[in-house]
A = this chain, B = another copy of it.
């Protein structure tokens, strides 16, 4: 099928999985790391920075933009991308709660 049965899970479970899907490709992880590192808009050099073809990068950027984690601003003939810090912070809250489910004192039971 290749199709997740999202209707049988709650909103939080689906949200966590959607966020994680955005991070589930190394190219998107790399794009985000690069945007944080240069700490400003990126117009163009992502294709040079990462060794993938321009349409491929464009597709990955689209997915990150759809989730709201990055913003794109048209600037002349190029488009500048940068991190959406507010959205990133919101996302971090959701993911941290999920990751912090483990309690420090707990032991494995098997």
* Interface size, A (range): 35 or more
Q: Is A21 an interface residue (CB 8 A)?
A: yes
Q: Is A45 an interface residue (CB 8 A)?
A: no
**Are B24 and A20 in contact, CB atoms less than 8 angstroms apart?**
yes
Contact with B along A30-71 (1 / 0, CB 8 A): 101100100111000000001110000000000000000001
**Are B102 and A83 in contact, CB atoms less than 8 angstroms apart?**
yes
Given contacts A82-B108, A88-B102, whether A9 and B21 have CB atoms under 8 Å apart is no
Residues of A participating in the B interface, judged by any CB pair closer than 8 Å: 4-6, 8-9, 13-14, 16-18, 20-30, 32-33, 36, 39-41, 50-52, 71-73, 75, 80-86, 88-89, 91-92, 95-96, 98-102, 106-110
